[in-house]
Amino acid sequence: MATEIRSQIDQGITLPFSWFADPAVFALEQQRIFARGWQYAGPAEWVAEPGQYLTCHAGLVPVVVVRDHDGGLNGFVNICRHRATEVAQGNGRRETLQCPYHAWTYGLDGCLRAAPRSQLEPEFDRSQLGLLPVAVDTWGPMVFVNRDLEAPPLHDVLGGLPALLETAGFSFEGLRFRERRESELAANWKAVVENFLECYHCATAHPAFSAEVDVRPDRYLLEAHPTFNAQYCRAKATGEQGQFHLLYPNTGINVFPGPANLSIGPIVPAGPGRTERYLDYFFAPDADEAWLSDFFAFDDQVGKEDTVLVESVHRGMASGLLEHGQLLLNAEPLLAAFQRWIGDQLKPDAQGLAVERE
């Protein structure tokens, strides 16, 4: 099945559009992709000191990351072992992780410390009821999580990405978290990723972006790697370089031309037809406020334009009228690479799902 999918994509034939709307495919993605992949969680400064924590999602699964009193960084599935309530919300500082429902209380090591009235249950064994662990790691000022404790290290998955950024003169040094901006789209997560992976639409859909950035095919460069996809651009006025990367499966990384900047965030699958997004923005502490105001206005405008496009794409895919689309491989090679990767992750189970229904 995976060979057939790769052969079709090599001919420019997309994944079945039904894969972008089918609940069964969405459920399979949770098992095959989001239970195994490294995903961005939040700024490292949010968990720099003992007791500090942050929350995020790995696919549909809520996760909490906390710094313990020995300085260790721990990650757990953010679900109480009693009745599955989310134990922590947002980010902050706590001495313990206490469930707000029935006060089951966990240490910063994830162990269950107290459960009211549990002493009346002769078979109750606290040692077996700790929060489920997840893998956690950092890259620069950023925290990542992975539900798979046996997954390859984050360093291995990043591969050559850090070197690509460094070669372009980018450095994390001096960057500080500024703010988080959240959004929601009525579209499948893969459609959101695919929009991120090409600038074929930029000249038509993003006039302000195209006025600032050289989007000509021979100047806006695309490069596929085994664990990430890279885009390189230059500002028309200054020649300064920008880079945009997708770290599989769903972390977008943006470095725009100009003063030191980084924005990063996950494209979170919230349902077959719904995606949640947030971007964390990092700048130098002394960044010019007027420039920041213009930067956010520019970025917000591009985001609004993309939202309209992606939601329209999803409605078309979900209509059931067309089985496939036709890629232009010269303009959309990163879409092809991403779709091959999706096919590889879902094999062989996808054969009995949406493909068979066509």
Domains of the chain (ranges, CATH numbers): 39-146 (2.102.10.10), 160-338 (3.90.380.10)
Cα 101 off chain centre by: 29
Instruction: Note the pLDDT of residue 353.
Output: 57
Positions of the chain with pLDDT lower than 70, given as ranges: 1-2, 349-358
Q: CA quadruple 44, 135, 269, 358: dihedral positive or negative?
A: positive
Residue 162: cis peptide before it, omega within 30 degrees of 0: no
Which residue has 């971007």 as its token pair?
279
How far is it, in rounded angstroms, from Cα 83 to Cα 95?
22
pLDDT one-digit tens code per residue, 106-165: 999 999 999 999 999 999 999 999 999 999 999 999 999 999 999 999 999 999 999 999
pTM listed for this prediction = 0.95
Residues 6+ apart with CB under 8 A from 166: none
The reported pLDDT for the residue numbered 356 is: 40
Strand order in the sheet with 133-139: 39-43, 142-146, 133-139, 73-77, 61-67, 52-58, 91-93
SS (H, E, C) the chain: CHHHHHHHHHCCECCCHHHHCCHHHHHHHHHHHHCCCCEEEEEHHHHCCCCEEEEEEECCEEEEEEECCCCCEEEEECCCCCCCCCCCCCEEECCCEECCCCCCEECCCCCEEECCCHHHCCCCCHHHCCCCEEEEEEECCEEEEECCCCCCCHHHHHCCHHHHHHHCCCCCCCCEEEEEEEEEECCCHHHHHHHHCCCCCHHHHCHHHHHHECCCCCCCEEEECCCEEEEEEEECCCCCEEEEEEECCCEEEEECCCCCEEEEEEEEEEECCEEEEEEEEEECCCCCHHHHHHHHHHHHHHHHHHHHHHHHHHHHHHCCCCCCCECCCCCCHHHHHHHHHHHHHHCCHHHHCCHHHC
Kindly report whether the peptide bond that precedes residue 249 is cis, defined as omega within 30 degrees of 0: yes
Q: Tell me, what's the pLDDT at 352?
A: 57
17 Cβ contact partners less than 8 Å away, ≥ 6 residues apart: 316, 317, 318, 320, 322, 323, 324, 325
| Strand, coil or helix: 182 | strand
